[in-house]
Structure 1
Amino acid sequence: MQTPPLARLYRASLPLALLGLALSSCGKPSSPPREVLPPVTETGLNKAGAMVNGTVWRALSANLFGPQAMRAHVFRTTGSGRGFEVSLSLTRQAPEGSEKYYPYPDSNISFFLPSVLAPGTFALDQAVTRPFPSEQGRYGLFSDYSTSPIGYYPTGTAQGQGQLVISRFDTVARVVAGTFEFTGQRDATLITITQGRFDISY
């Protein structure tokens, strides 16, 4: 007996419908992802992460037209003997529709150092004011864009202090890598960043 045309059409379209359903669910976890910090490296692997208030935070840009997960800008300064101006930006943007599975789903960790001559330890202790990014001083900043108004937690306040350690500063291979930890303060609220690490090719 010959199969009716509508039945043939249904059978032919079923695999395509199932494929579409599978693709539409890609990138949307059904349970919280198990994130771990990347290892501490200094070979330009473009990896970064930290513990933010005791929770794993990894640089992530899961949306096609979203910002870069990490950026480093290194510019030679005009002043004699001042070295290089360095700014780092680590972005976390969770996959669209899956924000509830990611702590701090839309946030950023950034740093500004006005003068870097070589690898070393840099205190994040100079006061800055908005707008961010700011070139007023040496600082670290945690920005939480998922709150309204945006939550900015800079160093350079009474309790907002920290340090950035650059272990590799290679302007020939264009790699900057190191570790960091700091506390950012907004009014009476603190954000504690520990076990931070970055390895960026720029």
Structure 2
Amino acid sequence: MKLLPLLLLLLTASACKKEKTELEKLPDASQTGSGAGAFLLDGQAWLPDESSTINFGGGGSGFLAQWRRTKTGRSLELTFSRYSDRTGLNIFLPDVRRTGTFAFNQQAQVLLDHSPAYGLYFMTKSLTVPRSFLTGPTATGTLTVTRFDTVAHIVSGTFDMTVQEQNGSETHHLTHGRFDYPF
């Protein structure tokens, strides 16, 4: 009978699980081409859909990375998409040939291959007009490519940025961003 209180105490202690923080919900920063990518959106974990067969980038899951030749160099485009709520993030770097840090601090020319680097967060769910939020002179950020392997076709890195609504003043903060994509 003396063991019963001790057993109850052990069961109670083991049943209490610590809830993950928002940052702990993000995948670990890695450099293996795992296909992981996520960020905190205004302090809340934002992870792309992994099981969706439809996404904004045309791939089979919530991420896509493309490295292609343009008039100004070798651009890198990263897409994070979440079909479940029709939100996503596009990142464009105009000329990537090695690791390094890229600034998001110039006016984006979204439809042009010769645009400066930018981040574009978008929301389209149940809206008649999609909302777009961009980096630029008043909403800045950085992206650091920590692995750029053209043989294994892997790009990895981290980012933090503020995006401001196109034609508006609403802003969002994307922090602790990380990606590890095959391209």
1:70 and 2:26 aligned: no
Question: Structure 1: which 5+ runs fail to align?
Answer: 1-33, 95-104
Task: Note the 1:156-171 alignment, pairs <5 A.
Answer: 156-158=136-138, 160-171=139-150
1:194 and 2:183 aligned: no
In structure 1, what is the equivalent of residue 6 of structure 2? none
Looking at structure 2, the residues matched to 77 and 148 of structure 1 have their Cα atoms a distance apart, in angstroms, of: 33
Q: 1:85-124 CA deviation, whole Å, 9 max, x = no partner?
A: 1111111122xxxxxxxxxx21111111111121000001
Contact 1:60 1:91 in 2 (8 A): yes
- Compute the TM-score of the two structures, normalised by the length of structure 2: 0.76
Contact 2:145 2:158 in 1 (8 A): yes
- The one-letter code matched in structure 1 to 2:88 is N
- The one-letter code matched in structure 1 to 2:25 is V
Q: After TM superposition, where is structure 1 displaced by more than 6 Å over at least 4 residues in a row?
A: none
1:137 and 2:116 aligned: yes
Looking at structure 1, the residues matched to 170 and 71 of structure 2 have their Cα atoms a distance apart, in angstroms, of: 38
1:93 and 2:83 aligned: yes
In structure 1, what is the equivalent of residue 92 of structure 2? 112
1:58 and 2:47 aligned: yes
RMSD: 2.0
Identical positions, percent: 29
1:150 and 2:130 aligned: yes
Give the greater-gyration-radius structure (CA).
1
- Compute the TM-score of the two structures, normalised by the length of structure 1: 0.69
Looking at structure 1, the residues matched to 128 and 137 of structure 2 have their Cα atoms a distance apart, in angstroms, of: 22
Question: Structure 2: which 5+ runs fail to align?
Answer: 1-21
Q: 1:64-91 CA deviation, whole Å, 9 max, x = no partner?
A: 3444311111124456xx4x21111111
1:176 to 141, 155, 162: 155
Task: Note the 1:6-45 alignment, pairs <5 A.
Answer: 36-45=25-34
Q: How far is 1:151 from its partner?
A: 1.1
